[in-house]
Amino acid sequence: MTTEEVIERATPRAFPAWLILSLACACQFMVILDSAIVNVALPSIRSDLGFSATGLAWVVNGYLLTFAGFMLLGGRAADLFGHRRMLTAGLMLFSASSLVGGLATAPEVLVAARVAQGVGAAMLAPATLAVINTSFTKGHARARALGAWSASGGIGGMAGALAGGAITTGLSWRWVFLINVPIGAILIVVAMMSLTGTRTGRRESLDLTGAVTATAGLAALIYGVMRSADHGWTSVPVVGLVSAGLLLLVVFTLVEARVATQPMMPLRLLRIRGVAVANGMLLLFGGIAIAMWYFTSLFLQNVLDFSALQAGLGQTPAAVTFVAVARLAAALLPRTGVRTLVLAGSAGFLAGFGWLAQADAGSGYVISVLGPTLLIAVGIGLTFPTLMAAATTDIPEGDAGIVGGVASTASQVGGSIGLAILATAASATADTGVGGTSPTANLAAGYDLVFLIAAGLGLAIAVVSLLLPRHQRGQPTTTH
For residue 439, name the pLDDT band (cuts at 50, 70, 90): confident
- Name the β-bridge partners of 479: 396
- Say if CB 445 and CB 314 are below 8 A apart: no
Q: Stretch 56-62: mean pLDDT, rounded?
A: 78
Q: Stretch 242-265: mean pLDDT, rounded?
A: 83
Position 34 pLDDT exceeds 60: yes
For residue 389, name the pLDDT band (cuts at 50, 70, 90): confident
The CATH superfamily assigned to 1-202 is MFS general substrate transporter like domains (1.20.1250.20)
In angstroms, rounded to a whole number, what is the distance separating the alpha carbons of residues 200 and 10? 5
- Say if CB 337 and CB 471 are below 8 A apart: yes
pLDDT, one tens digit per residue, over 367-376 is 999 999 999 9
Position 91 pLDDT exceeds 80: yes
pLDDT-wise least confident of 5-14, 36-45, 200-209, 283-292: 5-14
Position 8 pLDDT exceeds 50: no
Q: Stretch 41-52: mean pLDDT, rounded?
A: 81
Phi and psi, residue 396, nearest 5°: -65, 145
Highest mean pLDDT (candidates 85-99, 311-325, 381-395, 435-449):
85-99
pLDDT at 92 (0 to 100): 94
pTM across the whole model: 0.79
What CATH number matches the domain at 269-480, 1.20.1250.20, 3.40.50.1820, 3.40.50.10540, 3.40.50.970? 1.20.1250.20
Q: Could you tell me which of 119, 104, 128, 127 has the C-alpha nearest to residue 51?
A: 104
pLDDT, one tens digit per residue, over 188-245 is 988 888 776 544 445 566 677 877 888 888 888 888 887 877 777 888 988 999 999 8
